[in-house]
Structure 1
Amino acid sequence: MTGSPDPASLDQRLDAIARLPFRAKFHLRGRERATAELKGPATIRWHAYDLIAKRLAPTEPYKDGKQTPYRGHPVFVAQHATATCCRGCLERSHGIPKGRELTRAELVYVVNVICRWIERELAGGDGPGPARPR
């Protein structure tokens, strides 16, 4: 994994992942959306970096496959939407192998994927009501 992908390639990856029925149902709503709007992109990026470093980056994350809640923080919702919720999903959808610690470049990549998804969600205008058709 070399360098950070540009927004266009991140968007292509996110569009492909969003076509998977399980991933497509995740959207920022309610408390998680309000948190993302209130805290702003810089704080959310820091939260994402911290959460990924602790919960996903280790060689064998604690409770891997069950370590990411479905709600409670916009980063958690984004992780499920972007298939960055556990090492198995990370390997299947992003080609980052299990069984070793994430490199710094991989950690930054995962954070960029999560933050780009959140940015797109906030720009999309989905409010707390039902999801708009995509």
Structure 2
Amino acid sequence: MKKVKGSDFFCGELFPESTSVEKTEALPNTYDWGDLFERLSQSRFRSKFRLTTKEIVYLKEKGEDTIARHAADFIRKRLAPAVIPNDGKQTPMRGHPVFIAQHATGCCCRGCFEKWHRIPAGRELTDEEQHYAVAVVMEWIKRQLGE
């Protein structure tokens, strides 16, 4: 298991054995969020996203591990495929804290993911790239919770 710097978020626990995504040992030990979150804060659209009380209660009820599994599942199904028929419209704007975090961090569609994270569209995301996307989403959620 690899710990993401400054959190209790373990990358090795994201993709349970029951998913088709294989675990990888090639994950970085830490991510430098400084530049990314600075750039996101400069975006009028990205910086307007906030968690509501309802979503915060949901996060606390479910716990970090469950939310990370939800994020991994959403990323695997909605962001990772090489071809997404409804790309740009596959992530709802509300309904789950992870959806809000995906929009806030540019992990909502392959076009935004390429723009904000410089990971090209048109090919399936690697396991490492999926772990990275989940780590970004979870970091945003933790920042919203004030951790």
TM-score of Structure 1 vs Structure 2, range by shorter chain = 0.7 to 0.9
Instruction: Report which of the two has the higher share of helix.
Output: 1
SS of 1:37's partner is: helix
Runs of 4+ in 1 over 6 A off after TM superposition: none
Which AA in structure 2 matches 1:4? Answer: P
Residue 59 of structure 2 corresponds to which residue in structure 1? 36
SS of 1:21's equivalent in the other structure is coil
**Aligned counterpart in structure 1 of residue 75 of structure 2, from 52, 61, 64:** 52
CA contact (8 A) 1:76 1:85 kept: yes
1:5: how far off? 6.3
CA distance, structure 2, for counterparts of residue 62 and residue 44 of structure 1: 26
Segments of structure 2 that go 5 or more residues without pairing to the other structure are 1-25
Q: CA deviation at 1:6?
A: 2.2
Deviation at 1:3, TM superposition (A): 2.9
Q: CA RMSD in A?
A: 1.5
Task: Give the total of aligned pairs.
Answer: 122
Residues 82-120 of structure 1 deviation map (CA, whole Å, 9 limit, x = unaligned): 011000000011001000000000000000000000011
- Structure 1 length normalisation: TM-score? 0.85
Q: Which amino acid aligns with 2:79?
A: L
Percent sequence identity is: 48
Matched, 1:97 2:97: no
What is the TM-score when the length of structure 2 is the normalising length?
0.78
Q: Which runs of 5+ in 1 are unaligned?
A: 125-134
Q: Which residue is equivalent to 1:62?
A: 85
DSSP 3-state at the match of 1:13: helix
AA aligned opposite 1:67:
Q
